[in-house]
Amino acid sequence: MSQKVDWAKYVAQAETKLSSINLKQATADQSHLGELDDEAPDHFSPAEASLLSKIIRKGLVESKNDIEVQRKDPRSPLYSVKTFEALNLKPNLLKGVYEMGFNAPSKIQELALPALLAEPSQNLIAQAQSGTGKTAAFVLAMLSRVDATKPYPQAICLSPTYELAIQTGEAAAHMAKFCPEIELRYAVRGEQVSRGSQLTEHIIIGTPGKVLDWALKFKIFDIKKISVFVLDEADVMIDQQGHQDQCIRIHKQLSTSCQMMFFSATYSQEVMDFSEHIVKNPIIIKLKREEEILNNIGQYYVKCSSAEEKYNAITNIYGTLAIGQAIIFCHTRKAAAWLAAKMARDGHAVAVLSGELTVEQRINVLDRFRASQEKVLITTNVLSRGIDVEQVTIVVNYDLPVNLQGEADCETYLHRIGRTGRFGKKGIAINLIDSDNAMRICKDIEKHFSKKIHFLNAEDCEEIEKIGQY
């Protein structure tokens, strides 16, 4: 994408580009994953999970959670909008918004966009689950802020990976379809610049290393003229040492008047503290704690003495309840592969998502699951965050999540069972307990969330039927 973007052509080719170009290098980069130990816990980078989250979801998630707003400066303007017209956007930008299928602002957009477009500009730290319109919010803000008559970069958006940068570029391309005067430049691997040249595009979307090289090493644009700085997937960017160092170096070069926008699906307390340290007087917008989703989920545990009993419990529950789709979480690839093979032999339509698959293969698995071509998805922790499939009605913890110290990983548990109970619907979470230690972990999780996890006799069909009426 070294040349200026033909928006209309780019929009038409976006889906093809994603599958045929963006994933090839990612596939090659992850060719080593098949060497992982089958019996070791399966690991996925947060950036990979975020990419999969963005790709699997085609439309907005209708969040039922309330939004919490904090202001460091009580004089900061704070109001919400219920229509895009109320934002007084440029007519062609508004046309692009509607072209994308946005009829009304999502919850995060209702509050974020007025703050982002206000004068004087406001800094923002925003948290909301993937699919709620975060990307559209900051893309719209960037497109609104740039002055197309000035032929130099005025906005930067940093993403942790090549693929995520391209995803953001797609959103920008769609939204700016009717604004050919606004020009975009990717700062990602494979992009070359001539020494001594100067960028004329208005918006740079890229990865930290490439942007750092272009700004400080090659000096092909003046970073002091950047008026909007967006950090996408901020939790990943700040929590990973390499990205954090690069982001800090870029941040230090920005002018004090540059508008800062940090967006992420999740923030640990450490990441939030760091964000507040480097973002001056931010408005903080976040969904209230996701524990609220537990009100929509019936939680149960089943005592099992062996892998066979675990399997019998799953098939009894699956055979008794009217289940749309199910996700089963395992700790290791070996357990996931064994369970998938056994269920497939018994005639169940199952798919497996684990660490040895390339990014492209994982996306294919998720697309098939989303299209209901498989009813059961057996996976490790890659799906514990972000993926929303409306038809998922039950989540099974074949193995309870634990941290490196072997203690209950309550955050992962919450994200796992949160794959059901979405969109305000009811859901069921089943925890399979095969040892005293697993029972201890279950009790620790119960205590942490102050939510009862009920005993379920998986041999009693009538009892199973009752939980389906939850």
Pull the structure tokens for residue 414.
């919450």
Domain boundaries, the chain: 44-288, 291-467
Nearest to 237 by CA among 159, 155, 133: 159
CA–CA distance from 179 to each of 8, 113, 185, 226, 296 (Å)? 10, 19, 15, 20, 43
CATH code linked to domain 44-288: 3.40.50.300
List the pLDDT tens digit at each of the 470 positions of the chain.
Answer: 444 555 445 444 544 443 333 333 333 333 333 344 566 666 555 555 555 555 444 443 444 455 555 555 555 555 567 888 888 889 999 998 888 877 788 778 888 888 889 888 889 888 866 556 788 889 999 999 999 999 999 999 998 878 788 888 888 998 999 999 999 999 988 888 888 899 999 999 998 889 998 998 899 999 999 999 998 887 777 766 667 788 888 888 899 899 999 988 767 777 788 888 888 888 888 765 544 456 778 899 999 999 999 999 998 888 787 777 888 998 888 888 899 999 999 888 898 887 677 767 777 887 788 788 888 889 876 554 445 455 678 889 999 988 778 888 887 787 778 766 554 567 889 999 999 999 999 999 998 888 899 999 988 888 888 887 65
Q: Do 44-288 and 291-467 fold alike per CATH?
A: yes
Spatial strand order of the sheet with 325-329 comes to 350-353, 376-379, 325-329, 392-397, 427-433, 297-303, 454-455
| pTM for the full predicted model | 0.60
Domain over 291-467 is classified CATH 1.10.760.10 = no
